Structure 1
């Protein structure tokens, strides 16, 4: 009996080990069963951590759930869990399983942005088109001007950029990083702050979407000139514009029968749901394949979905799973690639603070000025600037690509991580200070939806 117990304990202790044949880099490889065991355990830990950290952020720091989830992703990575319990963290998130987690992350964030697009108020956009384009233009031009000024100094510091990178490529990459607005993060904050149906929320979301798209196109140009070839840029920009034009012009007509079927039946059948999910997968695939990002495919499709009962049914059937189960994988995957211990000297800390200050000035300041020049009030313009200054995990994605492709080094990567986290954490409380509280007191804005997406 004691021998049986000992063998059972030994088998249980070996659950998270690889059980497959040897590979070039390890004595054992992962079997399909090993991937499955890790995936479900990872998912349980991710959901639990995101809910706990999100709840603590709401109660103690008055941060929206989404910011807590971003921090939870970093907590599960090498910056905290890996620092305190490296063996446990490595066993829980072995590098072999990251690709599986990546796919789940893309599905989660893509579905969420599809739902954001489905609730997008085109009427508000038309009414605020001038302001949205002005804010977006300012949010692109100013960051690239700032990048032009600071990049020559950054190039003089060894290890920040790749050896031999041109000033033009370095400037374009820095400009894209500073110009980026955390599109998924911005959408979550807008929903949780009760802004989804307001013109300010629509204006900010529209400008943020355009700024993100431009940043990804600039990244494609950098990768093309850095070794990817001109085809990378042509496919990304040309393919993205072509698909966006197709969906915008023909999508409403193609999808209209689905809306009529739901209205006729009084509910969404599994047949209609399957067709909607199929359309989402195709749109996400095409945008991902050309080199933009799957989230833009989801968002564009959502914008042209028939309004009415179909969207209401999608919010009931799709949104809860996307928000609670799938989206946290997106935050965790990026957190697993984040190191917060790289800025380890006074000089590097000073540079990091300078990059942070320049980024805030370029984004918040420029968007504020643009909103004021198009007729927005001081408080509204300040609120727009505060929201547009949030960069979140989209920033982490783009700098991860830069690190993986050899454009930047680990030290600059860590500085940009710091900038992304600080600008995201500051977005919601500063928005409340400069706009939210006064607007709610005046009855211009509903109560913040605490836990609305919880």
Structure 2
């Protein structure tokens, strides 16, 4: 397929992707009470070989030929990286510092239990064809699976907390802070696994050292260096084209830096967002970038994930048993550990249950990790499909469980905004 043909097809692909994502998103919002992002996750699977490829294989093959996936991949990485930058813009650092102790305890629990469960399951799962690549050892399988179970749908977590009006409550602050700490730890583990499979210990040290150094710069140094952006915005009275261009250049360099050390562009985007000056500047940057990012770019990521999801490969009892075991372990280990850690940190039953329900969602972050694992040859299509299903199921569970365990109780006490 020539470059011209790819260009023509790309426009058609985007038209279909955006239309289907908006339609499915509107459906789940109206009839299931779920966020738009949940509908887009489902839409991605609908457009892939599991649904469209099953119903109309010729259409799916013509619309998404193998050659075009490289183009979609680039758009997908840009979309998810820029989206995480926007999430970072809304992250409240003051609230994070206020709840750092409890958040660290919950984050530790939300990681320790999943990694323990993954270590117990890894030897069994390695014996099942279609899950892990042959070159993956027991320790690597346990670490990757542990990270996949431990990850939190941080962007969706932020959206649910905002929509429920609990952004400045104890539960909202603790959930966001715990999710940020836990996801950072999970990313480091994934980076170590990738490095151990890709060329030696020096790559693992580069990933860990580079990630920690970048985080230090963004947390300690960058806020002071970026502060003049707010002053420049105040003088100009708006985020003009030059200022917006500077912000995008900084985002691209941050994404490049994290990819270069072996972690992922999303980590660079998120940390840069947290370092940006707050107030009118951040609000206007977000207002300018968010519609295009969420409506145009991010659906490419969900569709790219869906194109790699082949539910038909889970076609025997061994894989079905593995799917059920991973789903059950993911829910019990992550949700249960978060609940227990919150209780041990002194929080009441309703708050702890609310934290467990919210932290149990995997969503977008799960899809990012398993896409990386599939592309780098850590996991195979069978495990990828199982983990996509786990991500969708646990994300669908988040809002109803939160409402059941915390929402009604909070309204009765007057602690949850209507």
TM band (smaller chain): over 0.9
Is the counterpart of residue 379 in structure 1 residue 350 in structure 2? Answer: yes
Aligned residue among 98, 109, 127 for 2:98: 127
Aligned residue among 34, 37, 56 for 1:66: 37
The equivalences for 1:101-112 within 5 A come to 101-112=72-83
The equivalences for 1:185-200 within 5 A come to 185-200=156-171
Aligned-residue RMSD, C-alpha: 2.0
Q: Equivalents in 2 of 1:366, 1:357: separation in Å?
A: 13
Kindly indicate whether the alpha-carbon contact (under 8 Å) linking 2:99 and 2:177 is maintained by their aligned counterparts in 1.
Answer: no
Give the CA deviation at 1:418: 2.1
Is the counterpart of residue 86 in structure 1 residue 57 in structure 2? Answer: yes
Equivalent residue number for residue 227 of structure 2? 256
Q: Equivalents in 2 of 1:215, 1:251: separation in Å?
A: 24
Equivalent residue number for residue 401 of structure 1? 372
SS at match of 2:84: helix
Q: Equivalents in 2 of 1:333, 1:211: separation in Å?
A: 26
Q: Equivalents in 2 of 1:102, 1:181: separation in Å?
A: 23
State the Cα deviation string for residues 287-328 of structure 1 (Å, max 9, x = none).
122121111111111112111110121132111111221111
Equivalent residue number for residue 390 of structure 2? 419
Kindly indicate whether the alpha-carbon contact (under 8 Å) linking 1:124 and 1:199 is maintained by their aligned counterparts in 2.
Answer: no
Equivalent residue number for residue 417 of structure 2? 446
Q: Equivalents in 2 of 1:406, 1:268: separation in Å?
A: 42
Q: Equivalents in 1 of 2:39, 2:164: separation in Å?
A: 15
SS at match of 2:50: coil
Going by fraction, where is helix more abundant, 1 or 2? 2
Is the counterpart of residue 208 in structure 1 residue 179 in structure 2? Answer: yes
Equivalent residue number for residue 167 of structure 1? 138
Is the counterpart of residue 325 in structure 1 residue 296 in structure 2? Answer: yes
Aligned residue among 110, 116, 123 for 2:87: 116
Equivalent residue number for residue 30 of structure 1? 2
Give the CA deviation at 1:389: 0.9
The 1:91/1:290 distance shift into structure 2, 3 A limit, reads: same
Q: Equivalents in 2 of 1:390, 1:73: separation in Å?
A: 18
Give the CA deviation at 1:109: 1.8
Is the counterpart of residue 410 in structure 1 residue 381 in structure 2? Answer: yes
The 1:228/1:399 distance shift into structure 2, 3 A limit, reads: farther
Q: Equivalents in 1 of 2:140, 2:75: separation in Å?
A: 32
The 1:284/1:191 distance shift into structure 2, 3 A limit, reads: farther
The 1:339/1:169 distance shift into structure 2, 3 A limit, reads: same
Aligned residue among 42, 55, 69 for 2:13: 42
Q: Equivalents in 1 of 2:132, 2:204: separation in Å?
A: 21
Equivalent residue number for residue 21 of structure 1? none
State the Cα deviation string for residues 168-199 of structure 1 (Å, max 9, x = none).
22222221221122233333433444444444
Is the counterpart of residue 290 in structure 1 residue 261 in structure 2? Answer: yes
Q: Which range is displaced more, 59-68 or 346-355? A: 346-355
The unaligned stretches of length 5 or more in structure 1 are 1-28, 448-454
Give the CA deviation at 1:227: 4.3
Q: Equivalents in 2 of 1:389, 1:291: separation in Å?
A: 26
Equivalenced residue count is 418
Is the counterpart of residue 233 in structure 1 residue 176 in structure 2? Answer: no
Q: Equivalents in 1 of 2:114, 2:354: separation in Å?
A: 19
Q: Equivalents in 1 of 2:388, 2:198: separation in Å?
A: 25
Give the CA deviation at 1:129: 0.9
Q: Equivalents in 2 of 1:165, 1:316: separation in Å?
A: 44
Q: Equivalents in 2 of 1:213, 1:440: separation in Å?
A: 33
